[in-house]
């Protein structure tokens, strides 16, 4: 896989020969004696589908990226970072996977250390007043998210995602929708349509809003 955009680098996905033929047969829906071009194309398509979720997870923090998936033989890992994974096929058979990340990709995805600053003299912190501090940031725009539900998926199910796939979330239809700010629930309510867009009719505030910004 070639990663381009805000983060650049390469990642290789390696399967053991003894297991990859059975995995390919499961993907194409018919048993074959040996791993062939049809298996390779099905496996490449499955991995390409899985990268959609990877792009969605990485882009908010690191910026927009693209991933191109191609079949490759004879990986020379060199100084690459190797991550072993274990998954299960549709038939319940174990599948071992090795992920190889080159240095550029590892560095691009690693948290950046803040630049060191020269020491400064400690000063007494200014007095905190709730109203005074909030007035300074009243016009700052915050990114909030509506969450209808969530679910943890094993790698096998992620690899099988494609057009028409249905994923069951952990929320019932009548459960309230959650409004999140920086990953924290700040309100719950009912989903509504406002001028053709999703909206939220708030029915519950778990904590006073000002407590989210002052302490």
Cβ-based neighbour number of residue 3 at 10 Å: 24
- Name the more confident of 25 and 67: 67
User: How much is the mean pLDDT over the chain?
Assistant: 77
Reference 59, options 12, 109, 104; nearest CA is: 109
Please, are residues 169 and 152 in contact by the beta-carbon 8 Å criterion? no
Average pLDDT over residues 19-32: 67
Say if CB 191 and CB 146 are below 8 A apart.
yes
pLDDT digits (tens, 9 = 90+) for 88-142: 766 667 777 788 888 888 888 777 665 556 666 666 555 555 555 566 667 777 7
Domains of the chain: 2-109 (3.40.1550.10), 131-212 (2.30.330.10)
What pairs with residue 145 in β-bridges? 180
Yes or no: say if 178 and 185 are a contact pair by the CB < 8 Å rule.
yes
Indicate whether 201 pLDDT > 80: yes
pTM: 0.43
DSSP letter for 30, please: S
**Cβ 155 vs Cβ 85: under 8 Å:** yes
161-165 average pLDDT score: 85
Predicted local confidence at residue 38, as pLDDT: 73
48-87: pLDDT as tens digits: 887 888 788 888 888 888 988 887 776 666 678 888 877 7
pLDDT of residue 150: 82
Q: Residue 90 corresponds to which tokens in the numbers above? A: 């549709």
Supply the pLDDT for residue 205.
86
> Looking at residue 153, what is its pLDDT?
80
**What six digits make up the tokens of 142?**
């915050």
With pLDDT > 70 as the criterion, what percentage of the chain qualifies?
Answer: 70
């Amino acid at each position: 896989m070639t990663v381009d955009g805000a983060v650049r680098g390469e990642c290789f996905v390696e399967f053991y020969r003894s297991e990859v033929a059975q995995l390919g047969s499961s993907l194409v829906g018919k048993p074959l004696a040996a791993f062939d071009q049809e298996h390779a194309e099905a496996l490449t398509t499955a991995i390409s589908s899985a990268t959609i979720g990877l792009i969605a997870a990485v882009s908010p923090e690191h910026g927009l990226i693209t991933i191109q998936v191609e079949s490759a033989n004879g990986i020379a890992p060199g100084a690459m970072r190797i991550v072993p994974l274990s998954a299960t096929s549709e038939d319940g058979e174990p599948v071992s996977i090795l992920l190889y990340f080159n240095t550029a990709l590892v560095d691009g995805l690693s948290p950046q250390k803040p630049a060191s600053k020269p020491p400064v003299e400690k000063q007494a912190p200014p007095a905190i007043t709730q109203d005074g501090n909030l007035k300074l940031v009243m016009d700052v725009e915050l990114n909030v998210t509506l969450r209808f539900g969530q679910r943890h998926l094993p790698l096998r199910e992620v690899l099988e995602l494609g057009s028409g796939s249905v994923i069951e979330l952990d929320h019932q239809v009548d459960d309230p929708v959650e409004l999140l700010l920086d990953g924290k629930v700040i309100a719950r309510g009912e989903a509504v349509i406002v001028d053709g867009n999703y909206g939220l009719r708030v029915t519950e505030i778990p904590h006073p809003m000002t407590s989210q910004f002052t302490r």
